[in-house]
């Protein structure tokens, strides 16, 4: 993978997780957090589908994957 793509992916993941974490710290709303996890995964999924060479077919819709598995380090309880 191209180093510029790795840098961009790293930046996007950092930005998305930072925004999610800050929102959780401010509001502590489980329902809102679950919606934000889906939104965050959707944004990341769309970016990856647009920028990475995906020869395995279209990217999965975020709701098909368990947010708990993808962001297991985040506790919304």
- pTM of the entire structure? 0.57
Domain ranges of the chain: 20-48+62-72
Q: Provide the pLDDT for residue 64.
A: 52
Q: How far is CA 8 from the centre of its chain?
A: 14
C-alpha 72/C-alpha 51 separation (Å) is: 25
Residue 37: predicted pLDDT = 86
> What are the helix (H) ranges across the chain?
3-27, 30-51, 67-70
In this predicted structure, what is the pLDDT of residue 63? 47
- pLDDT tens per residue, range 62-71: 445 555 454 4
């Amino acid at each position: 993978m191209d180093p510029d793509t790795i840098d961009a992916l790293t930046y996007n993941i950092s930005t998305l997780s930072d925004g999610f974490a800050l929102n959780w710290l401010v509001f502590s709303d489980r329902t809102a957090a679950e919606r934000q996890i889906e939104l965050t995964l959707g944004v990341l999924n769309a970016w990856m589908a647009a920028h990475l060479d995906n020869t395995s077919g279209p990217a999965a819709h975020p709701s098909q994957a368990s947010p708990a598995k993808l962001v297991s380090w985040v506790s919304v309880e």
